[in-house]
């Protein structure tokens, strides 16, 4: 049984909400929505590493739906350029994850979540940059994405910025993100198991969180063209700010 600061019913509702949000995010309503999940779950689980382990299998299930929905539409050359650095970042992130005390990880997650808010605010500015590609950029971005994904389940910002600067069209953009993070999350599994963060009993104690992933995915695919992007962005930033503030308060 997972040690939680919430009542069993509240924790069950929180995991179900996390599954639904993951489904929404993978169904097309990205926009930073997936970045909320780990800080949200960490509010209930004192050990951030354990919270990451709880969320990881749910992300993998969400990845499966996303890859199926956008099968074959990704840019394979981009994935091949980014993956080597991502694997280096994964190893680095796992080392830090098992080395830092739980309280330090909670503080790091709070600060990182606040930096995501800044990234969302600066999103339009990134599109206006005059970008000159360099061969080492893919390795650097892959390493950043792999490290952030392992430590916080949030490798999207460097990856997204890189694809924006390279002018990737919307559908290949979503598909490339789907296959890249599906590979990355699957690759993280052995490390989490070896570090004794992820186990079958853990999966068995959180099974209900998986049930709403396909529902969220279905809803995301139908809402993606109906939701006002500006309103959606404000809601996501507000939720991320709230979760970050609560984590920071708990840490201090």
pLDDT computed for residue 250 by the predictor? 62
Q: Which residues of 184-202 are buried (b: 16+ CB within 10 A; e: fewer)?
A: bbebbeebbeeeebbeeeb
**Burial of residue 36, with CB atoms counted within 10 A of its CB: 0-12 exposed, 13-18 middle, 19 or more buried:** buried
Best CA proximity match to 36, nearest among 122, 93, 103, 120: 120
The CA distance from 228 to 33, in Å, is 14
The CB-side HSE value for 116 (13 A sphere, CA atoms) comes to 37
The CA distance from 179 to 185, in Å, is 10
Query: Which residue has 């049930």 as its token pair?
Result: 211
Best CA proximity match to 115, nearest among 147, 82, 154: 154
Taking 50 as the pLDDT cut, the residues of the chain under it are none
Sign of CA dihedral 127, 34, 69, 59: positive
Tokens found for residue 211: 């049930």
pTM of the predicted structure, to 2 decimals: 0.83
pLDDT computed for residue 219 by the predictor? 86
pLDDT computed for residue 143 by the predictor? 92
Spell out the alpha helix ranges (H) of 101-169: 102-121, 123-127, 135-152, 156-165
Query: What's the chain's Rg over C-alpha atoms?
Result: 17
Best CA proximity match to 22, nearest among 10, 40, 9, 47: 40
pLDDT computed for residue 163 by the predictor? 82
Tokens found for residue 46: 């004192």
The CA distance from 187 to 189, in Å, is 6
The CA distance from 31 to 9, in Å, is 29
8 Å CB contact between 22 and 62: yes
Tokens found for residue 14: 């929180």
């Amino acid at each position: 049984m997972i040690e939680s600061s919430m009542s069993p019913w509240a924790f069950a509702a929180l995991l179900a909400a996390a599954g639904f949000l993951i489904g929404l995010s993978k169904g097309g309503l990205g926009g930073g929505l997936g970045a909320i999940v780990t800080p949200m779950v960490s509010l209930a689980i004192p050990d951030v590493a354990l919270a990451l382990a709880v969320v990881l299998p749910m992300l993998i299930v969400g990845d499966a739906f996303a890859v199926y929905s956008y099968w074959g539409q990704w840019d394979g050359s981009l994935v091949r350029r980014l993956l080597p650095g991502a694997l280096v970042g994964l190893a680095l992130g796992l080392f830090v994850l098992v080395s830092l005390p739980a309280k330090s990880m909670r503080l790091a997650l709070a600060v990182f979540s606040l930096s995501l808010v800044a990234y969302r605010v600066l999103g339009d500015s990134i599109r206006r940059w005059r970008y000159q590609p360099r061969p080492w950029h893919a390795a650097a971005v892959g390493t950043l994405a792999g490290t952030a994904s392992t430590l916080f389940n949030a490798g999207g910002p460097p990856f997204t910025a890189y694809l924006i600067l390279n002018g990737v069209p919307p559908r290949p953009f979503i598909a490339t993100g789907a296959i890249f993070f599906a590979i990355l999350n699957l690759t993280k599994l052995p490390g989490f198991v070896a570090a004794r963060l992820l186990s079958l009993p853990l999966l068995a104690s959180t099974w209900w969180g998986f049930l709403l992933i396909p529902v969220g995915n279905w809803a995301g695919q139908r809402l993606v063209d109906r939701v006002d992007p500006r309103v959606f962005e404000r809601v996501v930033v507000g939720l991320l700010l709230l979760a970050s503030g609560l984590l920071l308060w708990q840490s201090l």
